[in-house]
Structures are given as structure tokens and as C-alpha cells.
Structure 1
């Protein structure tokens, strides 16, 4: 597994990372999966999930800023 590329622009370019904290980011891996770096909100969001959704023991719910995702939109593959 390797990081192939960043989707969108760096956190510094979005003025979201002035230190080693609060640096939301999105990367595509060599196997086609994506890495999302964001704040862990698993405990907060678990009771809000609909009945047909869940967070497994090895999973975490993370939140990123709207700007992080919208700046990555043009880099997200359609298939």
C-alpha cells in the first residue's frame, strides 16, 4: 500500500494547518481506497446514525471541513 496522490490542495494552502494539528486531508492509495485525515467524532456521531448504518470496532467516523472536500472534488475519480 502506498499513497498515490493528494486530492485537492494541501491544508496549508487552505489555511487549515499552521502546526501539526487540525490538518484535514484526503489521499488516494495505490489500491484505489482513500485515506481521510480528520477529527475523530465516532463517539459523538454513533447515536445519530440511522438504523441501517454502523461503525465497526476497527472503524472511526471522521469529519473534514467542507472546503477540504470541495477543493478535492475535481480530483475524485468518477469510477
Structure 2
């Protein structure tokens, strides 16, 4: 059965949405930096903590994770900072 959407692994990172983790105070300057990026095909890449194992068993009714999907968590202030960069539907 074909999926309605499939991630394309070929696009490149085009622009950060919002501010960097360092600008928001969400980084100590090491490699653990959450981020949100728009890819050059319009898709969005989110870098965050993989909490699939924690939240996987308690997803809301009707929400499912495919075997190749991961649930990631980012700081709320990071998404709020990206709001101005995200087009309205």
C-alpha cells in the first residue's frame, strides 16, 4: 500500500526556521542543538531529542508511528521563534 507522503532523502538544507538553539539559550555550545530547517523541496527537517520510546506507548487515540518514524521533541521557544518563517496554509 502506497503512503500519502514519503520523505525524499535528496533535498538539501535551505534555511533555518526561527533562531538557532544558541540564540534561544537552548544549547551549551556543544553538539546537542535542536533545530528546524526548511529543505529546498519545501519539506521541513526537525532535529530534536528522540523520545519515541517514551511517548510511543501513550500516543493519543488515532495517532500512530510507522516503524521508520521517530517522535522528536524540541523546545517550545524554538517553534515559537520559527512562527514568523512559516507560511500560513
Residue from 31, 36, 40 that aligns with 1:20:
31
Match of 1:33 in 2: 43
State the TM-score, normalized to the length of structure 2.
0.82
Where do 5+ consecutive residues of structure 2 fail to align? 1-10
The runs of 5 or more residues in structure 1 that have no matched partner are none
1:73 aligned onto 2:83: yes
Moved over 3 A (4+): none
CA-based RMSD of the aligned residues comes to: 1.0
CA distance in 2 between partners of 1:51 and 1:9 (Å): 33
Deviation at 1:51, TM superposition (A): 2.9
Aligned residues between the structures = 78
Deviation readout 1:12-59 (Å, 9 max, x if unpaired): 1112122111x1110001111100010000011111112311111111
Give, in whole Å, the separation in 2 of the partners of 1:77 and 1:2: 19
Higher Rg of the two aligned structures: 2
1:8 aligns with 2:26: no
